[in-house]
Amino acid sequence: MDGKGRVTRSPILHVAIGDGAGSGGGGDRVTLVPDPAVAGQSAEVAYDPQGGPLDGTSAVALHYGFDDWTNGAPADVPMTWDSSAASWEATVTLPGDAYQLDLAFHDGAGTWDNNNGADWHFDVTGGATGWVMDGELDAGARVIGTKNGVTLWVGCLGDELYVATQPAGAGADRFLLIAEAAGPMVPAMWGKSGEVAAWDAFLAMEAENGWSGWFDAAGDTRLAAGSVLEGTLRLTQEFGALPRTVTLALALYASPDGGALDPTRQLPPTADGDDDLQASEYAVLPTRVRVR
């Protein structure tokens, strides 16, 4: 904490922006008052240029946005030099639904300090609350596809991926498959017949007893089952950084061991109608599209 009560924060996500030539260390060079900032209110940003690409420049502008740069268009505001604090300062007003403040800095002439391509990111309180796990479809989810009574809904809020579908029933287990990029063909999940392009994690639900759970996930997960089967996965934890896209597929298999894939209810729709799920049959979802 500095003399003005600013609590220093380290960057938490990795989102390269702009075409700046600059890079620089992160750490304590950017501070925020208050921290965390409050949605719908103002916050003061202070930037210490020492040791970075803007060290010694005569003018600095703050480039800022919200929610991984997805909530509205990023903006620029001139900063004021505070000689007593040896930092550039500016005040920004946050929208009422923000959950994260995103920052970078430039001199207006093509030199940027974007924290080695990671930018700076600060949590915001009082705004978007995230996905709700109650077994009911979240209003912010969007439809990837619908076929023969089966729907795949997805969304991404910050680094939290949301997936949902109808609960398992009528003798068909359900699998929501997620991969940064679908991999080579491997044996299907749970001893089902056929092969599947390799996944990183999946959410599944058994038809016969209604049990559901996450498998193979490295990131934090949540789930609930009710009128829908829904779940979330923290992508930054899963992949080490927030990927620009992830791939997803919904597959229904007959419940017994060795049960076959049902291509008539596969989403995205099957490309060839066989008993295998190919990499080309995964949907591609941009992670930086704000859906709430």
Please tell me the predicted confidence (pLDDT) of residue 29.
95
pTM, two decimal places? 0.63
Q: What is the pLDDT of residues 61-103, one digit of tens each?
A: 999 999 888 788 999 999 999 999 999 999 999 998 888 899 9
**What local confidence, expressed as pLDDT, does residue 290 receive?**
45
d(CA 99, CA 97): 7
Q: Are residues 154 and 22 in the same domain?
A: no
Do 281 and 156 share a structural domain? Answer: yes
Domain annotation covers residue 133: no
Does residue 65 contact residue 104 with C-beta atoms inside 8 Å? no
Instruction: Output the pLDDT for position 159.
Output: 82
- Domain of residue 29 covers 7-125
Sign, CA torsion 32/236/141/222 = negative
**38 and 111 assigned to the same domain:** yes
Assigned domain for 84 exists = yes
The 3-state DSSP class for residue 142 equals strand
Q: What token pair was written down for 152?
A: 């795949």
Say yes or no: 242 and 282 in one domain.
yes
Give the pLDDT of residue 128. 64
Q: Tell me what pLDDT residue 292 has.
A: 41
Count: domains in the chain: 2
Q: What pLDDT score was predicted for residue 14?
A: 29
What is the per-residue pLDDT for 244? Answer: 86
Does a structural domain hold residue 206? yes
Q: Is 189 helix (H, G, I), strand (E, B) or coil?
A: helix
> What residues in the chain have per-residue pLDDT under 70?
1-27, 128-129, 288-292
1 lies in a domain? no
DSSP H or E segment with residue 230: strand 229-234
pLDDT of residue 287: 81
Domain containing residue 150: CATH number: 2.60.40
| Residue 256 placed within a domain | yes
Residue for token digits 């058994």? 206
- Give the dihedral sign, CA 242/243/245/251: negative
Residue whose C-alpha is closest to residue 288's, from 119, 150, 84: 119
pLDDT at position 212: 98
Please tell me the predicted confidence (pLDDT) of residue 23: 28
